[in-house]
Amino acid sequence: MTADLPPERLLLPLDAGPFRMAMAFVSRPLDDVVEIDALYPVQMQGRRRLLDTRHGEVFAVTPGSAAARAEVLEMLANLLPSRHPAWFARDEDTLHNRLTGETFDLLHPTHDPLDVAGRLVQEDLCLIDVSGPAPVLAAAILCAPSRWRLADKIGHPLLAVHGPVPFYAERLSKAVDRFMSALRPGKLVERLNWGVFDDDALFQPQPTDRRGSRAITAENAPDRLFMRVERQTLLRLPRSGAVLFAIRVHSYALRRVLAVPGTATSLHSMIRQLPDALAEYKGLLDIRAPLLAALAKAVCRLGRPDQFVVRPAASCRCDAGDRWLLRGPRRTHAAGPDFNFRCFDSRSFGMSQALQQRSWVEPRRCRFVSSLGPIRAVMRQQVRRVRLRPG
């Protein structure tokens, strides 16, 4: 039966535009609050192990959240059999999980209702109490923390929960609190969060271990780093009024991510533009240089139909002070000396098909250049013109 499970989706929250902090919610069908894929058996085994052996680290509640916890279990007990009848079946007050062979008594559960709910789905489940002056993390089952500990956050307002996040207090806190309070039952929203980790384990409650970052190089980064993507969904529970915040964590090998056309360029732009404070929070500061170098190499790989390689004429002489300008119909882009005679992902620069067929790369000396982005530059001297040919 597990052979019928769909493969894990590759979710890539990539935006090569200027850095900005935003909630970036999108509406989704109500039934999409959780997702089930081929990783379900192994991930559920890991969740059960954590709940049985490290329960105090992955489960916490506050007084007054019992009704919301029971409502989450009731919602999933109704949703899963109707959405996935081949994998779940309900017989009055009994829920059968055909994927794991487990049976759950819904009327008299052997564990807390939220605990049982966490044994049914791959998502972590957090309950936000919005009845007071500020939203509060009231209860949670958290088996895939991204370097934070549930015990440090439970019972605190969201502003304190996100206290370590740079710029959250001044740029997002009020907007998030208003959104939580305004969210209405029957509406589901989704957002994606991302990071780059040196460990693909889902359960990571401890801060970044900087010692491992020294071993990351441009050569081994694609094989030793992982892109960690959180699919976050929010839903208002109609009876209790609490907000269910579900988090499904995906951990993708960086090499797999870079195989997607255009991804290396977008990820390079995002990481390069990330403020140092946010890069430090995400654990990227110590590995940013080798990671950017690895992404640059991926951008410059040959043999892809959407890329071009600069082949300089034999008489062309350029030194380390030169910058290459890739001129399009509406944009001008630049790359530093480390990109000389390399490939550029044409689609990431918004060039038309006609431009791809007839383009020029002009090495020039510039007083100011912004690497891999739209530029305004004061030109002093044109050195040589080189034809851009398909690789």
Q: Model confidence at 316, in pLDDT bands (50, 70, 90)?
A: very low
Range 223-231 average pLDDT? 96
Average pLDDT, the chain: 79
- Does 70 score more than 60 pLDDT? yes
Span of 225-234, 243-252, 286-295 with lowest mean pLDDT = 286-295
Question: Is 224 part of a structural domain of the chain?
Answer: no
Q: Model confidence at 23, in pLDDT bands (50, 70, 90)?
A: confident
- Does 2 score more than 50 pLDDT? yes
Verify that 363 and 241 share a domain, yes or no.
Answer: no
Question: Is 161 part of a structural domain of the chain?
Answer: yes
Verify that 236 and 107 share a domain, yes or no.
Answer: yes
What CA–CA distance (Å, rounded) separates 293 from 279?
16
Question: Is 296 part of a structural domain of the chain?
Answer: no
Q: Model confidence at 208, in pLDDT bands (50, 70, 90)?
A: low
Verify that 83 and 176 share a domain, yes or no.
Answer: yes
Per residue in 90-138, pLDDT (tens digit) is 999 999 999 999 999 999 999 999 999 999 999 999 999 999 999 999 9
What CA–CA distance (Å, rounded) separates 121 from 34?
7
Range 231-242 average pLDDT? 97
Question: Is 169 part of a structural domain of the chain?
Answer: yes
- Does 324 score more than 50 pLDDT? no
Domain coverage including residue 95: 2-212+230-253
Range 379-385 average pLDDT? 30
Vertex 305: Cα angle to 255 and 352 (nearest 5): 115
Question: Is 382 part of a structural domain of the chain?
Answer: yes
What CA–CA distance (Å, rounded) separates 331 from 325?
10
Q: Model confidence at 15, in pLDDT bands (50, 70, 90)?
A: confident
Q: Model confidence at 14, in pLDDT bands (50, 70, 90)?
A: confident
Verify that 160 and 237 share a domain, yes or no.
Answer: yes
Verify that 35 and 183 share a domain, yes or no.
Answer: yes
**Conformation bin of residue 385: beta by default, left when phi > 0, alpha when psi is -120 to 50:** beta
**Conformation bin of residue 162: beta by default, left when phi > 0, alpha when psi is -120 to 50:** alpha
Verify that 244 and 128 share a domain, yes or no.
Answer: yes
- Does 319 score more than 50 pLDDT? no
Verify that 241 and 335 share a domain, yes or no.
Answer: no
Amino acid of residue 346: S
The pLDDT, as a whole number, for residue 304 is: 38
Per residue in 354-381, pLDDT (tens digit) is 223 333 333 333 322 333 333 223 222 2
The pLDDT, as a whole number, for residue 1 is: 61
Verify that 331 and 189 share a domain, yes or no.
Answer: no
- Does 325 score more than 70 pLDDT? no
Verify that 322 and 203 share a domain, yes or no.
Answer: no
What is the total count of domains within the chain?
A: 2
- Does 4 score more than 60 pLDDT? yes
Question: Is 100 part of a structural domain of the chain?
Answer: yes
Verify that 196 and 74 share a domain, yes or no.
Answer: yes
- Does 257 score more than 90 pLDDT? yes
- Does 353 score more than 50 pLDDT? no
Verify that 128 and 197 share a domain, yes or no.
Answer: yes
Question: Is 98 part of a structural domain of the chain?
Answer: yes
Question: Is 264 part of a structural domain of the chain?
Answer: no
Verify that 242 and 328 share a domain, yes or no.
Answer: no
Q: Model confidence at 19, in pLDDT bands (50, 70, 90)?
A: confident
